[in-house]
Amino acid sequence: MEDTIDPFEIHVEEAVLDDLWTRLRRTRWPAALDDPDWAYGIEQNYLRSLVRHWLEAYDWRAQEARLNAWPQYRTTIDGQQIHFYHVPSTAPDAIPLVLTHGWPGSVLEFVDLIGPLTDPVAHGGDAADAFHVVIPSLPGYGFSQPNDRKGWEPRRTARAWAQLMSRLGYERYGAQGGDWGWFVSQWVAREDPAHCFAVHLNLLFAMPPSPEAVARLAELPASEREKWERFQKYSSAESGYANIQSTKPETLGLGLADSPVAQLGWITEKFRSWTDCDGRIENAISRDDLLTNVMLYWITNTGASSARFYYEAMRSGALAPQPRLETPVGHACFPKEILAAPRTWCETAFNIVQWTDMPRGGHFAALEQPDLLLADVRRFFRRFRA
């Protein structure tokens, strides 16, 4: 039956791992380019060092155990298998919260937040800040299987999340996310306003509300002007991956499915560009976290289907400007986030009741600055507790 919820545990067969190690050792490298600034893309010497770490030091079984430390499930919604973590809190007044990742992220981003969210007392917090946690893998990502169906985009995904929360018995819940998670989370609020009462985002963007708004940029503080400059830089120099994934994802997917080094390079370059790392990824996240995130694409063969989410989103209307979202929104604004807009513009599109300018951090907030994100999520949802 489609509404069945089945327990799930990650166990990758040794043959899959052996094939991975063989492919890594047999990589055919192109001629190296002297490009220490990564101006042309990922720098080959760094990529080679990552491959050595993958082969010689990385322990997948230890990471597998880490991922399996919390209960996971699979269920089918709208014909699509959905993988998700579901960790209820023992606190009587815990708030259900669905957290959504993006590309090139995964559920890994939130795994180390499960304990502090569900059991704050055990992590130095207040029992009044407890959450029941639901963390799904986006359709076509990770263990939500490589889909072979067209049409999975943010709005349809939001409807699936609403159905998932209902299936789990939650009548009142919040949503949180960044990257694709910010689109999905706001669509959850739009599609299920009777049950989703608030949204917390670590990426929030709005286009200029009028031509005059751009003309008046000079009147805004430098910190606000910098947000728009960040978006313009992203559009001109960092968005080529999105153009490819939203136009020809299947062609790209052939390389991602066949070469683990291609998959590693495709993702790693974004982690360097999008994290607050001063040019060294390890300043923001560990090599093992980076590789585990890549493994969730490689072992599930979801490089192509995850890219396809862009194709579907661009043609669905889900990314088009919408009427102002009146559901209360909280925003954790990290300084190295790739997409940003002046607060005044965002307030025309969203009912922002909390805005926090963070001192550090980038696009992968839950991995880079988990304590800052956790504190902001707790503070935001306190206003909605009984």
The residues assigned a catalytic role are 179, 310, 363
- Which helix or strand (DSSP H or E) is residue 84 part of? strand 80-87
Q: How do beta strands 196-201 and 173-177 pair?
A: parallel
Beta bridge partners of 328: 351
d(CA 350, CA 352): 6
d(CA 166, CA 171): 6
Q: Cis omega (within 30 of 0) on the bond before 104?
A: yes
Q: How do beta strands 80-87 and 131-136 pair?
A: antiparallel
Tokens matching residue 100: 């959504």
How is residue 102 annotated by DSSP? -
Task: Please report, in angstroms and rounded to a whole number, the separation of the first and last CA atoms in the chain.
Answer: 36
3-state DSSP call for residue 352?
A: strand
d(CA 145, CA 305): 9
Query: Letter for the amino acid at 248?
Result: K
d(CA 118, CA 74): 20
Q: How far is CA 376 from CA 43, 119, 136, 196, in A?
A: 35, 16, 21, 19
Let me know: does 191 contact 159? Beta carbons within 8 Å. yes
Q: How many CA atoms lie within 13 A of 155 on its CB side?
A: 13
Q: Rounded to 5 degrees, what are φ and ψ at 118?
A: -85, -30
